[in-house]
């Protein structure tokens, strides 16, 4: 399956979610900005997939990502590019955009069996968790963050380019 066919509008994904529920398949949901994909992201996505049969990944829109106050100039990559990279991963079954600060509306519509977040969150930090059957927090890979990666890259600039 081409990775771009995994990027779905919410309406179509909600219909698929109903089919998957009818088939008895466990749906896992996670979300993030995924601005510059790194091994830490991949590890969380792989651990998320291990929690069920299908993995849906919500990717913040550009506007939503900017509202999170990550840093000036973020996101570095536009939504479509970030979505295509996530969709290209074998552990990901579907990618959907969301424009709010949290994926609460998205999760209310999809009602996943499991929500997975990285270890920098607690279930009490997740207002959307009430829409999932259960919440699983997975350990983060030490030393990996997009913000840290950008800072290292900025520190290695050569010749003012």
User: Does pLDDT of 81 surpass 60?
Assistant: yes
Burial of 158 (0-12, 13-18, 19+ CB in 10 A): exposed
SS3 string, 9-33, reads CHHHHHHHHHHHHHCCCCEEEEEEC
Q: What is the DSSP letter of 97?
A: E
Amino acid 94: pLDDT = 98
Of 85, 86, 24, the closest CA to residue 52 belongs to: 24
Q: What are phi and psi of 82, to 5 degrees?
A: -65, -40
Kindly list the structural domains of the chain, giving each domain's residue range(s) and its CATH number in brackets, ordered by start. Answer: 3-155 (3.40.50.620)
* 8 A C-beta contact, residue 113 and residue 26: yes
Q: What are phi and psi of 25, to 5 degrees?
A: -90, 135
pLDDT tens-digit readout, 47-64? 999 999 999 999 999 999
pLDDT tens-digit readout, 110-138? 999 999 998 788 888 898 999 999 999 99
Residue 36: pLDDT band by 50, 70, 90 thresholds? confident
Quote the distance between the C-alpha of residue 98 and its chain's center. Answer: 10
The overall pTM is greater than 0.85:
yes
Give me the mean pLDDT over the 10-26 stretch: 97
């Amino acid at each position: 399956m081409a990775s771009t066919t995994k990027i779905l509008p919410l309406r179509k994904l909600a219909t698929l979610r109903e089919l998957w529920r009818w088939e008895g398949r466990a749906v896992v949901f996670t979300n993030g900005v995924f601005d510059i994909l790194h091994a830490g992201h991949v590890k969380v996505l792989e651990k998320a997939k291990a929690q069920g049969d299908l993995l849906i990944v919500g990717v913040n829109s550009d506007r939503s990502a900017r509202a999170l106050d990550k840093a000036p100039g973020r996101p570095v990559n536009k939504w479509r590019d970030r979505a295509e990279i996530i969709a290209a991963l074998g552990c990901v079954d579907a990618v959907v955009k969301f424009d709010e600060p949290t994926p609460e509306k998205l999760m209310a519509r999809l009602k996943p069996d499991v929500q997975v977040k990285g270890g920098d969150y607690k279930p009490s930090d997740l207002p959307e968790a009430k829409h999932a059957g259960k919440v699983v927090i997975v350990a983060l890979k030490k030393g990996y963050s997009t913000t840290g990666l950008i800072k290292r890259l900025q520190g290695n600039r050569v010749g003012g380019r």
